[in-house]
Structures are given as structure tokens and as C-alpha cells.
């Protein structure tokens, strides 16, 4: 009769199936206490009416949105983009949606209000990708009263997943040491603006420690701070390689993108890679193959899956939110792996 009166609601289905809305709700959500016949009929009717429950009404009634807020400093860089992609995939498989918060070009201070107002009552949980936070920001996050897991660094005493940055850097250095290198440079120390970020510091510190432990010289002028872009790394490498006096025979970079920059610098200076200069990165960026870059691969998918699992676990264990049991190990580490390509070689005697 009433064919076209807008999208159908649960009431339409109930009426057409000759049952109550409560029964429709139960039947469609697969709850128990519904007779097989009823369930079958409700399903059929719902199908015919192209019924899909209104997520908005469901959220209001149930108190859960089935949406997870994903916060990234910038989606336009490879690590973040692929992490967002992988997290979205994992979330979707569990019937959750991604509300994306890209802080790119946001003024630092404004993130506060942003976080609170925009996530407030909107999401069941939050995944924060490599975003260092001030105490105030952390407090605001807490005020959301939803589980939070961070990826790529630790936030407070919350759950987190990431690679072991120190181990990754050690792996890179160890590879060079095995090839006989002793004069090793490092590009990718933290610059001030990212001072809150652990990753640059951890990788650099571990690289230096590994060199020192092997008795290799650690020269301060060979350890360079970078903004982590390829171009900046190219400039730094230029300077490092043309400074006069000794040169390193190998350079470890905190990320593949910086390694690309070093690679280009070497070429511009007419140095052959790896014969005259070995280069190692960290990441295994999609373009690493193009540069034949030896690198320490990090498993994005693995990290994303773990992060989603952790978050959904906490979602289930909800109610006692806020009272994290720190004793359980909620800081997961996903293994990295050395990928040897053509940018490293044994040192020439």
C-alpha cells in the first residue's frame, strides 16, 4: 500500500511481518529468544523492504556508535596513510567505521578543543597514531571516557602497539658492522618541533649505542637532525659528504624517505652506491625497491591488526573504563625485519 514513504523503518518491518518492533530488533540482530520461524519471516520481510537500521537511532538507544576515531598528524605521509588504511580495513571487518581526524596543518593549541568537541560522544574508541600529547591533551582524551590505543609510541600508561624502534635501529647498524663498516653516519635525530616524539630519539640513541658497543667511532658531526623529509636529508647528506676530512662509508637513516634523499645526494656528488657509500633506511617504503634500498621493514598491517584488537578488547571490557590494569602487558611490539637490497655492500679495504 504505502510503497514510497521514504526509507523503511523498523516499524514498517514490524507491521509487514505482523510482529512487534522489539521482535524485529531481536530477530535482525541475531539475539536468542526468537523462534526460528519468526526470525526467518522477519528477515525476509526486512529484505523485501530493503530495511537497514538507522545507525543514528541505534547509537542513541544503545549508547554505542560503532565508530572509532583515528587521529593522525598527517595522512599524506606514507606511514600514516598506510596505517590508516590498514586500521580501517581491520575495523571494517569487525563492523566498525573510521572517523578520520587529520591534524595536518592544524595549529598545535587548537587540537585540544578539536579533540574534545569532535570526538565527544561520537566514537566508541580512539586510535592515535604517533601523536605526542601534552598533559592537557591527555586529560582531554581521558575526558572522552572511551578506550584509547596509541600506535607508534606510548601515551601515558595506555595500550599501545608499535615496532621496537631501538631494535630496528640496532638491526640497521648491525648489518653495516657486519659488512665491515666502522665510519657510520646517522641522519634523523629529532629536531625541536618534534621534541615530544619518541621515535626519532629512540632510533638515534639505539643506533649510536650500537656503534659505540662495537667500538666504532661516534662522531657528533656525523649525527644529524632532520625534519624527516627526503629533501632535507639530501641537503644534510650533501653537507656531510662534502665537509672535507674523513667521510662516513655508510649512513643509517631514521626512515626510508630520508634514505632516498641521501641516495640522491650521493648520486649528485658522483658517489656510487653502494660501492662508495652504503645506505640503510627504516620502513620499507613502497619506493624502497625503486632505490634498491636496504632497509628494516616494519609491518604496518600487523601493527594495525594488533591495535584494533587491543581497542576492541577494551571496548568489550568496558564499564570499568579508566581503571586499566597496567599489569597486563598492553604494550605490544611487532617484529621488524632486515631487507637487504642493493644499497649496502661490504666495505672496500
Partner DNA sequence: CTGAAAGCGCTTACAG
Question: In the complex with DNA, which residue's Cβ is closer, 19 or 169?
Answer: 19
Closest CA to 323 of 129, 137, 135, 157: 157
User: How many Cβ atoms are within 10 Å of 56's Cβ, its own excluded?
Assistant: 9
Question: In the complex with DNA, which residue's Cβ is closer, 29 or 145?
Answer: 29
Give which of DNA, its own copies, none residue 37 binds (C-beta under 5 to 8 Å, depending on kind): DNA
Decide if 265 contacts 185 (C-beta within 8 A). Answer: no
Grid coordinates belonging to 62: 544503545
Which 3-state string (H, E, C) describes 130-186? Answer: CCCCCHHHHHHHHHCCCCEEEECCCCCCCEEEEECHHHHHHHHHHHHHHCCCCCEEE
Question: In the complex with DNA, which residue's Cβ is closer, 59 or 309?
Answer: 59
Question: In the complex with DNA, which residue's Cβ is closer, 34 or 179?
Answer: 34
Binding test (CB under 7 A) with DNA, winner from 40, 48, 57, 337:
57
Q: Return the residues of window 36-55 that contact DNA according to CB under 7 A.
A: 37-39, 51, 53-54
60 near its own copies (CB under 8 A): yes
What is the per-residue binding string for its own copies in 222-241, x denoting contact by CB under 8 A?
Answer: -------xxx--x-------
10 near DNA (CB under 7 A): yes
Give which of its own copies, DNA, none residue 20 binds (C-beta under 5 to 8 Å, depending on kind): DNA
Name residue, grid cell 630520508: 258
Beta strands in 262-320 (DSSP E): 278-283, 294-298
User: Smallest distance, Å, CB 78 to DNA?
Assistant: 38
> How big, in percent rounded to 5, are the helix, strand and coil portions of the chain?
45, 15, 40
Closest CA to 87 of 168, 167, 149: 149
Q: Return the residues of window 74-113 that contact its own copies according to CB under 8 A.
A: 74-78, 81-82, 84-85, 88-89, 92, 97-102, 104-105
User: Smallest distance, Å, CB 51 to its own copies?
Assistant: 10
Binding test (CB under 7 A) with DNA, winner from 16, 23, 179, 307:
23
Amino acid at each position: 500500500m504505502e510503497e514510497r514513504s521514504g526509507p523503511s523503518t523498523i516499524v514498517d518491518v514490524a507491521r509487514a511481518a505482523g510482529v512487534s518492533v522489539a521482535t524485529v530488533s531481536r530477530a535482525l540482530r541475531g539475539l536468542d529468544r526468537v523462534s526460528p520461524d519468526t526470525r526467518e519471516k522477519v528477515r525476509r520481510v526486512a529484505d523485501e523492504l530493503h530495511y537497514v537500521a538507522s545507525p543514528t537511532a541505534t547509537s542513541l538507544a544503545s549508547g554505542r556508535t560503532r565508530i572509532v576515531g583515528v587521529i593522525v598528524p598527517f595522512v599524506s605521509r606514507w606511514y600514516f596513510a598506510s596505517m590508516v588504511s590498514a586500521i580501517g580495513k581491520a575495523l571494517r571487518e569487525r563492523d566498525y567505521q573510521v572517523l578520520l581526524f587529520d591534524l595536518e596543518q592544524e595549529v598545535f593549541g587548537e587540537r585540544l578543543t578539536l579533540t574534545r568537541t569532535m570526538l565527544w560522544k561520537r566514537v566508541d574508541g580512539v586510535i592515535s597514531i604517533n601523536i605526542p600529547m601534552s598533559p592537557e591533551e591527555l586529560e582531554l582524551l581521558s575526558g572522552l571516557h572511551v578506550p584509547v590505543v596509541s600506535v607508534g609510541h606510548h601515551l601515558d600508561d595506555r595500550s599501545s602497539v608499535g615496532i621496537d624502534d631501538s631494535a630496528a635501529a640496532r638491526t640497521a647498524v648491525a648489518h653495516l658492522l657486519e659488512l665491515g663498516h666502522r665510519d657510520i653516519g646517522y641522519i634523523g635525530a629529532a629536531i625541536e618541533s618534534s621534541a615530544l616524539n619518541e621515535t626519532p630519539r629512540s632510533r638515534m640513541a639505539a643506533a649510536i649505542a650500537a656503534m659505540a658497543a662495537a667500538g666504532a667511532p661516534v662522531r657528533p658531526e656525523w649525527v644529524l637532525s632532520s625534519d624527516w623529509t627526503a629533501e632535507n636529508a639530501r641537503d644534510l647528506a650533501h653537507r656531510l659528504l662534502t665537509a672535507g676530512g674523513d667521510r662516513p662509508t655508510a649512513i643509517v637513516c631514521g626512515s626510508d624517505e630520508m634514505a632516498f634523499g641521501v641516495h640522491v645526494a650521493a648520486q649528485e656528488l658522483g658517489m656510487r652506491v653502494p660501492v662508495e657509500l652504503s645506505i640503510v633506511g627504516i620502513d620499507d617504503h613502497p619506493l624502497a625497491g625503486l632505490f634498491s634500498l636496504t632497509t628494516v621493514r616494519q609491518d604496518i598491517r600487523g601493527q594495525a591488526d594488533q591495535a584494533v584488537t587491543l581497542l576492541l578488547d577494551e571496548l568489550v571490557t568496558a564499564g570499568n573504563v579508566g581503571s586499566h590494569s597496567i599489569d597486563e602487558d598492553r604494550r605490544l611490539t611487532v617484529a621488524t625485519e632486515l631487507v637487504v637490497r642493493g644499497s649496502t655492500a661490504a666495505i672496500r679495504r
